[in-house]
Amino acid sequence: MNFHIMTLFPEMIDECLGTSITGRAVKNGYISINAVNIRDYTLDKHNKVDDYTYGGGAGMLMQAQPVYDCYKAIEKKLVSEKKPRVIYVTPQGSVFDQKMAQDFAQEDDLVFLCGHYEGIDERVLEEIVTDYVSIGDYVLTGGELPAMVMVDAIARLVPGVLNNHDSALTESFHDNLLEYPQYSRPEEWMGKKVPEILLSGDHAKVDKWRLEQSIERTKERRPDLYEKWLEDHPPVPEKKTLRRHKRKQSLTDKEQTD
**Residue placing its CB nearer to ligand ADE in the complex, 7 or 90:** 90
Could you tell me if 64 and 126 are in contact, meaning their C-beta atoms sit under 8 angstroms apart?
A: no
Cα angle for residues 41, 42, 44 (degrees, 5° grid): 155
Binding region for ligand ADE (CB under 6 A) out of 32-40, 42-50, 133-141, 170-178: 133-141
Residues 67-96 that bind ligand ADE (CB under 6 A): 89-91
Residues 178-237 that bind ligand ADE (CB under 6 A): none
Could you tell me if 236 and 180 are in contact, meaning their C-beta atoms sit under 8 angstroms apart?
A: no
The answer to the question of residue 136 lying near ligand ADE (CB under 6 A) is yes
**Residue placing its CB nearer to ligand ADE in the complex, 84 or 115:** 115
**Residue placing its CB nearer to ligand ADE in the complex, 89 or 154:** 89
Pairing of strands 32-37, 50-52: unpaired
The answer to the question of residue 54 lying near ligand ADE (CB under 6 A) is no
Out of 19, 83, 99, 140, the only residue in the binding site for ligand ADE (CB under 6 A) is 140
Could you tell me if 217 and 178 are in contact, meaning their C-beta atoms sit under 8 angstroms apart?
A: yes
* Distance of closest approach, residue 140 Cβ to ligand ADE, in angstroms: 4
**CA neighbor of 115 nearest in space, from 91, 149, 83:** 91
CA 168 to chain centre: 12
Amino acid at site 43: L
Rounded Cα–Cα distance for residues 183 and 194 (Å)? 7
The answer to the question of residue 101 lying near ligand ADE (CB under 6 A) is no
**Please, which residues bridge with residue 47 across strands?**
none
* Distance of closest approach, residue 139 Cβ to ligand ADE, in angstroms: 5
The answer to the question of residue 59 lying near ligand ADE (CB under 6 A) is no
Out of 1, 33, 49, 135, the only residue in the binding site for ligand ADE (CB under 6 A) is 135
Report the 10 Å Cβ neighbour count for 73. Answer: 14
Which residues of the chain form contacts with ligand ADE (CB under 6 A)? 89-91, 134-136, 138-140, 143, 146
